[in-house]
């Protein structure tokens, strides 16, 4: 099996990011097995895209700054070979990254492939809801996973991506978001992100899963106010615009670590972290599972992704459903 690599532009930028100061064209050409002319061509293309790269005679190239754009090379440069997110496929426009990921997975796209879009014409949420965002404002992406996993544990993937989003925001942005099982991330009592995990199976085993994320990044408060449920963006909460490319790389890096740990048997530990970051732990909730409505106290989360609901003194796992809190005040 080959390990997925960044594009040449991503690899050159990766070398510039990791080099303390200058990197010579000769050294980069040797490391990447390409010509110096090819390196110079990549540098010139990166500059055209808005990266500031200085060239000092006889010393080499130095990265000065990156633009606040979702440039694939900026994501790839921050990912290790074989990391989730490689290969990375960027679309200015697509119907839905989840739909495209499913089409590509059916056609054999490898584990880890990430599809990211500037705009979706048919972005989908859970329960056939729509997911919208103005072009170039949000992070809209889907990862194709081919884990060796029984379908009973597939919903853990949804929990892992929620954790990855929260970890990345906390570590790199100082933002403390909370998770509302099964698929929402909240900030300041309003929805910041939604996850949509879809999968196909064969003989009780997952064939592939598509983990989709819609994260509100740079939407303006006025636009958020027009949505049919209270929503938050990172810019609205922090007062500054965020770089979507670096944030995507940070989320993919966290997701890679979590996925590896989960597959190596770390599900219990992750369920504990999930509980610590949960908005509903210890609260009375109503859970809608299709036509059925259940009421109880959220007392924990199982390693395979389910909510543990205490109903009349008995603790039962709920595999999927829509949660509402009896007391919405706690969100504020
Ligand atoms: C929800 O909150 O209901 C889940 C929303 C998931 C939206 C994301 S945006 C990227 C990916 N592509 C889609 O069509 N949906 C997911």
Separation of alpha carbons 202 and 185, rounded Å: 31
Distance from residue 196's CA to the centre of ligand 1 (Å): 5
CA distance between the termini of the chain: 49
CATH of the domain at 58: 1.10.10.10
Taking CA atoms only, the protein residue closest to ligand 1 atom 15 is 124
Residues 140 and 234 in one domain: yes
d(CA 88, CA 72): 7
In this structure, the answer to whether residues 229 and 268 fall within a common structural domain is: yes
The residue whose C-alpha atom lies closest to atom 9 belonging to ligand 1 is 214
Task: Count structural domains, the chain.
Answer: 3
Q: Residues 250-263: pLDDT tens digits?
A: 999 999 999 999 99
In a domain, 109, yes or no: yes
From the CA of 296, how far away is ligand 1's center (Å)? 28
pLDDT at 324: 81
- In this prediction, residue 332 carries a pLDDT of 43
Does residue 291 sit in the same domain as residue 259? no
Q: Per-residue b/e over 158-191, b at no fewer than 16 CB within 10 Å? A: bbbbbbbbbbbbeebbebebbbbbbbbbbbeebb
Distance 125 CA to ligand 1 centre (A): 4
Q: What is the DSSP letter of 138?
A: S
Ligand 1 lining (C-beta closer than 6 Å):
96-98, 120, 123-126, 129, 131, 140-142, 183-184, 194-196, 212-214
The parent domain of residue 128 ranges over: 72-276
Ligand 1 center to 266 CA (angstroms): 27
Which atom of ligand 1 is the closest one to the Cα of 214?
9
Any residues with CB less than 8 A from the CB of 315 and at least 6 apart, and which? 299, 300, 308, 309
Helix, strand, or coil (residue 139): strand
Q: 65, 96, 112: which is the final residue of a domain?
A: 65
For residue 118, how far is its CA from the centre of ligand 1 (angstroms)? 13
Q: Are 42 and 147 members of one domain?
A: no
Task: Check whether residue 232 and residue 110 sit in a common domain.
Answer: yes
Quote the pLDDT of residue 127: 81
| Within a domain: 49 | yes
pLDDT tens column, 285-301: 999 988 889 999 999 99
Structural domain includes residue 91? yes
Q: Are residues 264 and 292 in the same domain?
A: no
Rounded Cα distance between 6 and 13, Å, is: 10
In-domain check, residue 112: yes
**Would 30 be classed as within a structural domain?**
yes
Structure tokens at 14: 């990766």
Instruction: For residue 112, give the CATH number of its domain.
Output: 3.30.930.10
CB of 179 closer than 8 Å to CB of 162: yes
How far is ligand 1, taken at its centre, from the CA of residue 7, in Å?
A: 26
Distance from the CA of 29 to the center of ligand 1, in angstroms?
A: 40
Most ligand 1 atoms within 8 A of CB, residue of 121, 137, 194, 322 to mutate: 194
Q: Which of 279, 116, 306, 118 is nearest to 211 (CA)?
A: 116
| Predicted pLDDT at 239 | 97
Which of 41, 65, 89 is the endpoint of a domain? 65
Protein residue whose Cα sits closest to atom 10 of ligand 1? 140
Convert the pLDDT of each residue in 92-145 to its tens digit.
999 999 999 999 999 999 999 999 999 999 999 988 889 999 999 999 999 999
59 and 178 fall within a common domain: no
Residue 223 contacts by C-beta under 8 Å, 6 or more apart in sequence?
A: 134, 137
Instruction: Give, for ligand 1, the residue of 191, 213, 217, 320 to mutate: max count of ligand atoms closer than 8 Å to Cβ.
Output: 213
Asked if the structure places residue 3 within a domain, the reply is no
Query: Residues 53-93: pLDDT tens digits?
Result: 999 887 899 999 999 999 999 999 999 999 999 999 999 99
* 1 in a structural domain: no
79 with 179, same domain: the answer is yes
Supply the mean pLDDT for the chain. Answer: 94
Mean pLDDT confidence for 263-270:
96
Burial of residue 209 (CB within 10 Å: 0-12, 13-18, 19+) is buried
Domain boundary among 276, 293, 310: 276
Entry pTM: 0.95
One domain for residues 40 and 180: no
**Is 215 strand, coil or helix?**
strand
Whether residue 135 is contained in a domain is answered as yes
Asked whether the beta carbons of 56 and 229 are under 8 A apart, the reply is: no
Quick one: 137 and 255 in the same domain?
Answer: yes
Looking up tokens 């459903």, which residue turns up?
Answer: 321
Take residue 189 and report the two structure tokens written for it: 């009592």
- 14 and 111, same domain (yes or no): no
Q: Best mutation site among 135, 196, 215, 232 for ligand 1, i.e. most ligand atoms within 8 A of its Cβ? A: 196
- Cβ atoms 295, 285 nearer than 8 A: yes
Q: Which ligand 1 atom sits nearest the alpha carbon of residue 123?
A: 14
In this model, does residue 328 exceed pLDDT 60? no
Same domain, 318 and 201: no
CATH number at residue 307: 2.30.30.100
Mutate to test the pocket of ligand 1, among 94, 102, 123, 232 (most ligand atoms within 8 A of CB): 123
């Amino acid at each position: 099996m080959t390990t997925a690599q960044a594009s040449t532009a991503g690899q050159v930028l990766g070398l510039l990011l990791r080099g303390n100061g200058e990197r010579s064209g000769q050294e980069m050409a040797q490391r990447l097995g390409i010509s110096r002319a090819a390196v110079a061509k990549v540098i010139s293309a990166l500059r055209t895209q808005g990266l500031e790269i200085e060239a000092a005679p006889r010393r080499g190239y130095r990265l000065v700054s990156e633009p606040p754009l979702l440039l694939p090379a900026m994501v790839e440069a921050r990912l290790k070979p074989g990391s989730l997110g490689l290969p990375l496929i960027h679309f200015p426009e697509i119907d839905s990254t989840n739909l495209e990921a499913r089409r590509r997975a059916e056609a054999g796209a490898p584990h880890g492939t990430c599809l990211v879009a500037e705009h979706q014409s048919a972005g989908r949420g859970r329960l056939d809801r729509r997911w919208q965002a103005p072009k170039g404002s949000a992070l809209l992406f889907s990862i194709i996973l081919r884990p060796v996993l029984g379908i009973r544990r597939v919903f853990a993937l949804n929990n892992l991506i929620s954790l990855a989003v929260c970890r990345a925001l906390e570590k790199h942005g100082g933002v403390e978001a909370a998770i509302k099982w099964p698929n929402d991330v909240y900030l300041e009592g309003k929805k910041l992100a939604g996850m949509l995990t879809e999968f196909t199976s064969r003989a009780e085993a997952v064939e592939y899963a598509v983990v989709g994320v819609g994260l509100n990044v740079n939407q303006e408060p006025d636009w958020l106010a027009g949505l049919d449920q209270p929503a938050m963006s990172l810019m609205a909460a922090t007062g500054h615009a965020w770089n979507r490319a670096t944030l995507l790389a940070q989320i993919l890096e966290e997701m890679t670590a979590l996925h590896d740990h989960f597959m190596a048997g770390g599900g219990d530990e992750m369920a504990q972290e999930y509980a610590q970051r949960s908005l509903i732990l210890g609260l009375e909730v109503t859970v809608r599972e299709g036509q059925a409505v259940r009421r109880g106290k959220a007392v924990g989360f199982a390693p395979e992704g389910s909510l543990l609901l205490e109903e009349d003194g008995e603790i039962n796992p709920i595999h999927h459903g829509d949660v509402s809190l009896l007391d919405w005040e706690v969100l504020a």
